[in-house]
Structure formats: structure tokens, C-alpha cells
């Protein structure tokens, strides 16, 4: 299978799931999917196209909403599945049932963007400390957190 | 038997970077493991959004102290594809040359760490001594031992002279001979093989479903290498083979890395002998037009991926970095299960978690008059040779 064949096959076989498909550079395919069709799409991509490898999940703050990008790969192309999320209701379904290796990336998305992953097998913070204040999401564009001033015991303020 | 939970880390002699493991054991057998991260989180992705593309090259370089070139290459490749730049052939070859030398140096380092964790310290000393040769080669090419700073958007920053080419070929011959010796040693020395075989089993199906990368994946029998699957730079015209092993254990990971080093040595030879003439870089625009790029790179530890989104200004909208070690953590937990407590450092070292290193100058303070002097490595070498009575050009490490 070459990249053009994969591109055509995805376009025809997944026409019910995907809303947009493009190949901006060689071996890079981008598709858009509605959040409720994510699991179904990933299952088809894994079983029929061999996209079993998830490279990572990227989050993106677009001010008007969030975008979550699932970077999948097989031995021919790298495929990015794009999902739009409402800023007022930042939620997405966990894909761990299809790709178990996604767990750490989903935890990172929760930490950094405050996008709640539903059905996540393990929802503890991954990169942020345990005493991190609630509601602070560093990779959001409007994040403007000032840490409290450090006090050294015994020093005059 | 009652289950007991043992915390290991975040500071631990076996792992040279802060990471915390919670191991649940029953007797001496590991039943479950949990990894806690974030002790070394520096907010680089957030920082990258407020830096220009050129500043970001140097920021990306500092993600890792060993595969620094991997991150810059991955980043500049993404930016180049966004700008639509075509890098000259000579530039790509020099870039790949540093890539492969970095792989050799990383695998030599790893072999030493693995040998140390397996209790074979002579091999550790040998490999780390030999690694100095490849570090010196990198210094000859780029001027630096660790953060090479050779990449720039549109090509590389330094050209290669005929003298440098000769030195590289000379050094590579030495490394080849040594690696042949270690191939023999690492795969036939009875006590070493007994220590590493059957430890940290990762079955093929698990490696696939947990999205393992790099030598860890290849040691479980999957021939996946970004250089072959998704050829970047000019890897599509370089003859090399993907190295795999089918034993799915630490021994397999040793074998894969040794074989890979031999392949890298061959690639370096090919690159130096077939170095095309011409320019080494093209001029890159300061502002990058709107778009997004996914850049993948086969780092010594596995697949490195950068997602870059530009917004038409001189600063990126978003840079997402996923280094190979993170991808291998879920697989490591699988490897630890049903192993022994004594195997933890060995199994963990077998995925080659990132270790940072190196200071480049030494400050010497004369205690008599308190003069401070900064010495370069060349001066230190000269002083050392003088104090040891060595002649000019004679080897500091006589073999």
C-alpha cells in the first residue's frame, strides 16, 4: 500500500465518519472527526489500516474552542485525527479501550488543558505536582498564574 | 502472602534522573508497578510559544542532554516543511552524519549503563572510554560534545573539511573494531547473558498495543524504524537495514542496540565517502506562514515526534514534543510485572531513560593569589600531557 492508496481508501471507506481529509505534505494525512464518532473511527483505522501505533496526543487551544489531535502511524503514513471540543464543555471520551498505550497522553491532556477525559482508567495528574491548585491549566492561552510569593521561615518580610 | 508497596525514587542511585516508582511486591516478585512523573517538568512547550523559531532551536536542543540533535532535527524539519524550504543535499548529509554519530555515542553509553546494572563493571569502563572517541568526533565536527548546535532552519551551520572527514573515518574504524569485540562479548559471555536473558519480557502484542518505540519495540520482533517507514532527510537513499531481535527481553535489547551501532557505523562511512558538494544551507524566512506540521525522527531511544502549528508570525502557535522515553513507560510497567526486585534497575535501564550530562569548561582557582582562570579542554589536555610527561600526539589512553 502506498500513501495515495491509503488516502483514497480512507476517503471512501470512512466517508460516514470523517468530515474532512487532506494531505498537505508527503506521508502526512489529516482527518477531522466528530467527538462521538472518535472511538468507532479509531477502531476501523486500527483493524483495517493497521494504525495500531499512537505516537502522541496533542492539545491545542484555539481560543474559540479546543482541538485534540491523535497522531497515529502505520508503516507507510502518519495520520492525524482531529477532534473539535466546545470550550464551555471541555470533555472527550477515552480511547484506551482501542489503544491502551494512550493512557499517559490522555492524563497529560487533562493536566495541561483541563479537558476532562471520560472513562479514563487512571485519572491522577501526570506531570503536574499533587498540590497544584485546581482550575489552573498551563497550556491554555489565557493562563496567567502568579505563584504565591515565597516566604523563608525566620526571614523578615 | 501479603502484598507490600515499595516506593523507589524520585532520587535513586539506579536511575540518574528523578522519577518515582511504586512497586507492589508479594515476597520478592513484582505484582504491580506505577510510575509517577513530573519531577523534571520544565514547561518547555509553554516557553516555546513565546520564543522565535530560531530561539526555539536552542531551546529544543536543551530538552535532552544526549539526543539533543534529535530534538533540533525534528523541530527544524517541521519548520522547513512549513516554510516549504528545500535543504541542500550536503546540508542533509552533514545533519545525518551528526544523527548517526549521536546514535553511536548514545548506544555506547547505554551499553555501559546496562553492563553496570548487570554487575559487569569492566564492560562499563571499556564502553565509556571508547565513547570518548565518538564524543571527540562530534566536537571536531560541531565544536561541542553535547549540545552540537549544528542545525539551523534551512540546513546546517558548519561545513565539513577534508581533514575532518579523514579524522571521522579514522575514529569510526576504531569504534568498529571495539564494537565487534563487544558484539562477541555481549552475546557470548556466560555470566552476562545469564543475567540479561529472560528478564523484562515484553511480548510482541503488548509492545504493539502499548505503543512502545525504538529498540524496545524492535527487540520484541517488530521491524519499525522511522528512518525506513517515514524517511526524513535523505535516508531513502542510504543503504542500511533495520535491526530486530525476537527474544523480547533485555538480551534482545542489548543485541538490537549493538547491531544498530554497527549499522550506524556503516552509514557514517557511506555519508563521509559520498558527501555531495555544494551549499550547506538555504536562507530561511523569519516569519513562518500559517500551517501545521507533524515531524517524526528516529532518535537513539525511538520515535521522537514534534507537532508544530504556526500562525504567520515569527513565533509558533504551539509546539508539542513527545520524547521516546515517555512512550516506553507503559511498556516498562508491563516488563516489570512478575519480575524480581533485583531486576528493576536492569529493566528500567533497558529502555534507556534519558540522562543529562556535561559541563564544558573547568574553572581553576589559584589558591595562592586567588586568580580565576577558565581553561578550555585543549589546555587541560596540554597540562595533563605535560604533567604526565606524554609526547605531543601520543595517546592519552594507551590501549
Report the CATH fold assignment for B44-350: Cytochrome-c3 Hydrogenase; chain B (1.10.645)
Chain B interface disruption, residue of A29, A47, A51, A53, most B CBs within 10 A? A53
What CA–CA distances, in Å, run from A20 to A10, A74, A81, A82, B232? 11, 20, 10, 9, 26
Cell numbers given for B318: 504551539
Q: From CA A103, how far away is CA A81, in angstroms rounded?
A: 17
Q: Which residues of B touch A106 (CB under 8 A)?
A: none
Name the residue ranges covered by the structural domains of chain B.
44-350, 362-399
Q: Quick one: pLDDT at residue B375? A: 56
b/e A73-94 (16+ beta carbons within 10 angstroms → b): bbebbbbbbbbbbeeeebebbb
Chain A interface disruption, residue of B7, B294, B316, B325, most A CBs within 10 A? B294
The verdict on B208 touching A (C-beta cutoff 8 Å) is: yes
The verdict on B41 touching A (C-beta cutoff 8 Å) is: yes
In the beta sheet, which residues pair with residue B322? Answer: B305
Q: Which residues of B touch A71 (CB under 8 A)?
A: 294, 305, 307
What is the pairing mode between strands B372-375 and B29-36? unpaired
In the beta sheet, which residues pair with residue B382? Answer: none
The verdict on A133 touching B (C-beta cutoff 8 Å) is: no
Q: Quick one: pLDDT at residue A157? A: 64
pLDDT at residue B363 tops 60: no
Q: Quick one: pLDDT at residue B37? A: 83
pLDDT at residue B233 tops 60: yes
CB contact under 8 A, A99 and B46: no
The verdict on B42 touching A (C-beta cutoff 8 Å) is: no
Window 95-114 of B, Cβ < 8 Å to A: none
The verdict on A79 touching B (C-beta cutoff 8 Å) is: no
Q: For B171-193, how does the pLDDT look when each residue is reduced to its tens digit (9 = 90+)? A: 999 999 999 999 998 888 899 99
Cell numbers given for B227: 528512518
Residue A81, classed as helix, strand or coil, is strand
Across chain A, mean pLDDT equals 91
Q: Which residues of A touch B303 (CB under 8 A)?
A: 55, 73
Cell numbers given for B233: 532527510
Q: From CA B106, how far away is CA B102, in angstroms rounded?
A: 6
Q: Find the closest chain A residue to B226 by CA distance.
A: A75
The domains of chain A, with CATH numbers, are 3-87 (3.30.460.80)
The verdict on A71 touching B (C-beta cutoff 8 Å) is: yes
Chain B interface disruption, residue of A104, A129, A140, A141, most B CBs within 10 A? A104
Q: Which of B292, B309, B330 lies nearest to residue A101, judging by beta carbons?
A: B330
Q: What is the crossing angle of helices A103-113 and B324-336, to 10°?
A: 130
Q: For B10-44, how does the pLDDT look when each residue is reduced to its tens digit (9 = 90+)? A: 776 556 678 888 888 888 899 988 888 888 888 88
Cell numbers given for B146: 553535547
Q: For B259-290, how does the pLDDT look when each residue is reduced to its tens digit (9 = 90+)? A: 999 999 999 999 999 999 999 999 999 999 99
pLDDT at residue B372 tops 60: no
Residue segments in chain A with a per-residue pLDDT below the cut of 70: 157
pLDDT at residue B368 tops 70: no
Q: Find the closest chain A residue to B332 by CA distance.
A: A101
Q: For B152-165, how does the pLDDT look when each residue is reduced to its tens digit (9 = 90+)? A: 999 999 999 999 99
The verdict on A58 touching B (C-beta cutoff 8 Å) is: yes
In terms of pLDDT, which residue wins out, B113 or B358? B113
Q: For A11-45, how does the pLDDT look when each residue is reduced to its tens digit (9 = 90+)? A: 999 988 899 999 988 899 999 999 999 999 999 99
The verdict on A43 touching B (C-beta cutoff 8 Å) is: no
CB contact under 8 A, A75 and B329: no
Q: Which residues of B touch A76 (CB under 8 A)?
A: 229
Q: Which residues of A touch B85 (CB under 8 A)?
A: none
Q: Between vectors from CA B149 to CA B377 and to CA B45, what angle results, nearest 5°?
A: 125
CB contact under 8 A, B309 and A102: no
In terms of pLDDT, which residue wins out, B43 or B215? B215
Q: Which of A75, A80, A101 lies nearest to residue B229, judging by beta carbons?
A: A75
CB contact under 8 A, A27 and B230: yes
- Span B211-230, average pLDDT: 93
**B365-374 long-range Cβ contacts below 8 angstroms, 24+ apart:** none
Q: Which residues of A touch B309 (CB under 8 A)?
A: 60
Amino acid at each position: 500500500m502506498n500513501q495515495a492508496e491509503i488516502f483514497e481508501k480512507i476517503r471512501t471507506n470512512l466517508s460516514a465518519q470523517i468530515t474532512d481529509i487532506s494531505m498537505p505534505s508527503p506521508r502526512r494525512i489529516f482527518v477531522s472527526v466528530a467527538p462521538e464518532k472518535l472511538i468507532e473511527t479509531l477502531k476501523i483505522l486500527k483493524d483495517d489500516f493497521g494504525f495500531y501505533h499512537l505516537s502522541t496526543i496533542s492539545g491545542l487551544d484555539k481560543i474559540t474552542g479546543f482541538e485534540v489531535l491523535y497522531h497515529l502511524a502505520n508503516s507507510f503514513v502518519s495520520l492525524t485525527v482531529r477532534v473539535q471540543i466546545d470550550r464551555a464543555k471541555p470533555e472527550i471520551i477515552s480511547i484506551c479501550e482501542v489503544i491502551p498505550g494512550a493512557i499517559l497522553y490522555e492524563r497529560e491532556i487533562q493536566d495541561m488543558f483541563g479537558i476532562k477525559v471520560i472513562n479514563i482508567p487512571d485519572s491522577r495528574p501526570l506531570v503536574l505536582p499533587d498540590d497544584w491548585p485546581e482550575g489552573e491549566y498551563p497550556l491554555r492561552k489565557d493562563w496567567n498564574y502568579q505563584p504565591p510569593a515565597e516566604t523563608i521561615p525566620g526571614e523578615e518580610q | 502472602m501479603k502484598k507490600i508497596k515499595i516506593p523507589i525514587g524520585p532520587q535513586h542511585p539506579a536511575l540518574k534522573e528523578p522519577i518515582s516508582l511504586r512497586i507492589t511486591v508479594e515476597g520478592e516478585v513484582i505484582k504491580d508497578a506505577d510510575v509517577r512523573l513530573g519531577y523534571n517538568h520544565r514547561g518547555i512547550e509553554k516557553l516555546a510559544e513565546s520564543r522565535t523559531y530560531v530561539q526555539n532551536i536552542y531551546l529544543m536542543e536543551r530538552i535532552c542532554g544526549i539526543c539533543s540533535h534529535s530534538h533540533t532535527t525534528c523541530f527544524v524539519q517541521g519548520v522547513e516543511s512549513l516554510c516549504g524550504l528545500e535543504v541542500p543535499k550536503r546540508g542533509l548529509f552533514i545533519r545525518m552524519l551528526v544523527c548517526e554519530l549521536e546514535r553511536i555515542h548514545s548506544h555506547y553509553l547505554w551499553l555501559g549503563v546496562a553492563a553496570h546494572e548487570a554487575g559487569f563493571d569492566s564492560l562499563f569502563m571499556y564502553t565509556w572510554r571508547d565513547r570518548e572517541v565518538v564524543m571527540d568526533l562530534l566536537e571536531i565536527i560541531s565544536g561541542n560534545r553535547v549540545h552540537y548546535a549544528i542545525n539551523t532552519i534551512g540546513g546546517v551551520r558548519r561545513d565539513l573539511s577534508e581533514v575532518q572527514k579523514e579524522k571521522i573515518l579514522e575514529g569510526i574504524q576504531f569504534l568498529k573494531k571495539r564494537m565487534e569485540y563487544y558484539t562477541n562479548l555481549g552475546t557470548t559471555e556466560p555470566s552476562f547473558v545469564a543475567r540479561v536473558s529472560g528478564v523484562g519480557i515484553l511480548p510482541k502484542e503488548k509492545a504493539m498495543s502499548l505503543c512502545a518505540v525504538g529498540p524496545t519495540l524492535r527487540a520484541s520482533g517488530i521491524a519499525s524504524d522511522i528512518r525506513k517507514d517515514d524517511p526524513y532527510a535523505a535516508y531513502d537513499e542510504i543503504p542500511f537495514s533495520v535491526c530486530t531481535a525476537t527474544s523480547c527481553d533485555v538480551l534482545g535489547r542489548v543485541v538490537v542496540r549493538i547491531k544498530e551501532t554497527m549499522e550506524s557505523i556503516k552509514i557514517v562511512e557511506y555519508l563521509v565517502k559520498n558527501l555531495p558538494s555544494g551549499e550547506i544551507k538555504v536562507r530561511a524566512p523569519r516569519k513562518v506562514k500559517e500551517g501545521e506540521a507533524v515531524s517524526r525522527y528516529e532518535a537513539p531511544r525511538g520515535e521522537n515526534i514534534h507537532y508544530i502549528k504556526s500562525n504567520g508570525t515569527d513565533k509558533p502557535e504551539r509546539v508539542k514534543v513527545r520524547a521516546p522515553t515517555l512512550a516506553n513507560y507503559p511498556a516498562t510497567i508491563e516488563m516489570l510485572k512478575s519480575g524480581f526486585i533485583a531486576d528493576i534497575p536492569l529493566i528500567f535501564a533497558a529502555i534507556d531513560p534519558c540522562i543529562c550530562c556535561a559541563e564544558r569548561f573547568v574553572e581553576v582557582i589559584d589558591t595562592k593569589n586567588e586568580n580565576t582562570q577558565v581553561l578550555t579542554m585543549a589546555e587541560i589536555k596540554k597540562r595533563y600531557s605535560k604533567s604526565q610527561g606524554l609526547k605531543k600526539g601520543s595517546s592519552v589512553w594507551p590501549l
